[in-house]
């Protein structure tokens, strides 16, 4: 038992010395190729075996012949180990270089394409993650381009929409100042109308800026969808009467939601005004609400005749006004963008799709907690 313990101690000391030298070599080569590190690991394994064997041989006084045989066997093992480590290292380095070249492509604005050929499990996993990252970057670039296009369109449209009423206000003010207005009261009423219109546009811009900046402060409270829709219908009724449009809200379930009443009233008002303005006289605008699983779906259906398929994906974009038939008088294309922003701030979603004779806007909101 004592001899076995001594052999174990001598073998450990010899292997430990080789291991320390290997650790020092790995530290010095930590910034070099993985091929060098694999060669050092293989050399350490063989050297540790050789050092332990020599330490035991010297202490056990093995014959020189036996020592040569053991040394020769270990040397052959070392040669094979080093060759295997070099081949594996070169393979890993080659795969890494191909992956680096492929990564550079989507870093420059392209799409990532995984290099062909076999790769280690780690490099294959890295390729999959890079492919997923590339797809996300591509989608982000597309969104950024779409947002930039929307911003440019918004600036152009806002500039146009502001220029027209401002020019009218200046002309009316000059006419009143020069005493050329035959009916000053009518001019005053028109000025008030234009000012309210400008005030509404500025309010929409301010609301949209808060949404985009993430500064929209919500004060959610538990309320019934029936009450929410009822208030919105009452507010839109005068406009509907003016346009000869029927408002229908008999398919509203009294389900509870937890929302900011003021902001959601604005959402429904925007949708109803949009629907009324694009529904012909004697048409119908229907509001419905129902519970689905863990959500509540609010919908507004109009008789606008439908939206072109190419425009369906842009309806909620900032500044979108679509075809001439759907462009509200003096509108800046902010109402539906505000609708989506407020609904998403409530952890919901907004969508639109065509139905027979018109389109339906759907708002999906989380159901109130029981």
User: How does pLDDT run across 11-59, given as a tens digit for each residue?
Assistant: 666 666 666 776 676 676 666 666 666 666 666 666 766 666 666 666 6
* pLDDT score at 305: 87
Residue with tokens 């020189």: 64
Residue count of the chain, please give it.
370
Tens-digit pLDDT string for the chain (370 aa): 565 666 566 566 666 666 677 667 667 666 666 666 666 666 666 676 666 666 666 666 556 666 677 777 777 776 776 676 666 666 766 777 777 777 776 656 667 666 666 666 666 777 777 777 777 777 787 878 877 777 777 777 777 777 778 888 888 888 888 888 778 888 888 888 888 888 877 887 878 778 877 778 888 889 888 888 988 999 899 999 999 999 998 888 888 889 988 889 989 999 999 899 899 988 999 999 988 888 899 999 999 888 888 888 878 877 666 654 344 444 556 788 889 899 998 889 999 999 988 999 999 998 877 6
Q: Six-digit token pair at 59? A: 């202490």
CA atoms within 13 A on the CB side of 74: 18
* pLDDT score at 292: 84
């Amino acid at each position: 038992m004592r001899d076995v313990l001594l052999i174990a101690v001598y073998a450990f000391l010899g292997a430990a010395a080789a291991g320390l030298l290997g650790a020092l070599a790995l530290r010095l080569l930590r910034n070099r190729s993985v091929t060098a590190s694999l060669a050092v690991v293989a050399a350490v394994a063989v050297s540790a075996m050789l050092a332990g064997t020599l330490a035991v041989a010297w202490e056990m006084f093995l014959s020189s012949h036996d020592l040569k045989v053991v040394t020769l066997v270990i040397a052959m093992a070392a040669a094979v180990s080093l060759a295997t480590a070099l081949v594996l290292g070169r393979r890993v380095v080659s795969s890494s270089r191909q992956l680096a070249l492929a990564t550079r492509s989507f870093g420059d604005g392209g799409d990532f394409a995984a290099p062909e050929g076999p790769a280690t499990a780690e490099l294959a996993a890295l390729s999959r993650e890079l492919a997923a990252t590339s797809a996300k970057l591509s989608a982000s670039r597309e969104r950024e381009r779409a947002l930039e296009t929307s911003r440019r369109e918004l600036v152009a449209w806002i500039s146009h929409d502001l220029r027209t009423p401002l020019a009218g206000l200046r002309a009316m003010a000059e006419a009143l100042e020069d005493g050329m207005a035959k009916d000053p009261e009518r001019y005053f009423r028109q000025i008030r109308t234009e000012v309210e219109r400008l005030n509404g546009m500025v309010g929409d811009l301010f609301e949209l800026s808060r949404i985009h900046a993430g500064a929209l402060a919500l004060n959610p409270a538990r309320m019934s969808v029936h009450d929410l829709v009822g208030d919105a219908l009452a507010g839109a009724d005068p406009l509907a009467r003016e346009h000869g449009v029927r408002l229908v809200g008999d398919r509203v379930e009294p389900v509870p939601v937890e929302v900011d009443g003021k902001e959601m009233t604005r959402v429904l008002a925007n949708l109803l005004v949009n629907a009324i303005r694009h529904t012909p006289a004697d048409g119908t605008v229907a509001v419905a609400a129902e519970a689905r699983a863990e959500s509540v779906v609010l919908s507004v259906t109009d008789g606008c005749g439908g939206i072109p398929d190419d425009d369906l994906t842009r309806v909620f974009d900032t500044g979108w006004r679509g075809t001439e038939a759907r462009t509200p008088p003096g509108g800046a294309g902010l109402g539906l963008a505000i609708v989506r922003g407020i609904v998403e701030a409530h952890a919901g979603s907004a969508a639109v799709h065509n139905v027979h004779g018109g389109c339906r806007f759907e708002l999906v909101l989380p159901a109130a907690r029981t």
